[in-house]
Amino acid sequence: MSALLKYTLARLGLFVLAAGAMFAVPLDISVLLKLMIAVVISAALAFFLLKGLREEASVQAVGAATRRTEKRERLRAALNGDDDGGESTTKAD
C-alpha cells in the first residue's frame, strides 16, 4: 500500500474518531458545528500523530513529480530531435 494512501486513510480514521466523540458528547449544538469541530480536532491530532506517515507521503509525492518531470523532458528532447539515446534521428522535411 502506498504511503499516500496510508496517510489518507489515517487522516480519515482520525476524523471518524473525532466525529464519533463529538456525537457521543451530549452538546446542544448543530450537527454541522459538531462536524466542523471534529475537522479541527482531527487536523490537530494528525499534525502530531501522523508526522512519519506525512513525511513518507511527501517523499513519495516528490519522487513521482521528479519522475514525471524527467519523463516529460525526455519526451520533449525526443520530439525536438535532441535524443541522446545513441541513435541519431533526423527529420526529413
CB 9 within 8 A of CB 16: no
CB 18 within 8 A of CB 38: yes
Could you give the CA distance from residue 4 to residue 67 in angstroms, rounded to a whole number?
A: 16
pLDDT for position 83: 64
Residue with cell 506517515: 53
Classify the C-alpha dihedral 18-23-24-25 as positive or negative.
Answer: positive
pLDDT for position 11: 95
- pLDDT tens for the 93 residues of the chain, in order: 888 899 999 999 999 999 999 999 998 999 999 999 999 999 999 999 999 999 999 899 898 899 999 999 999 988 888 766 545 555 555
pLDDT for position 17: 96
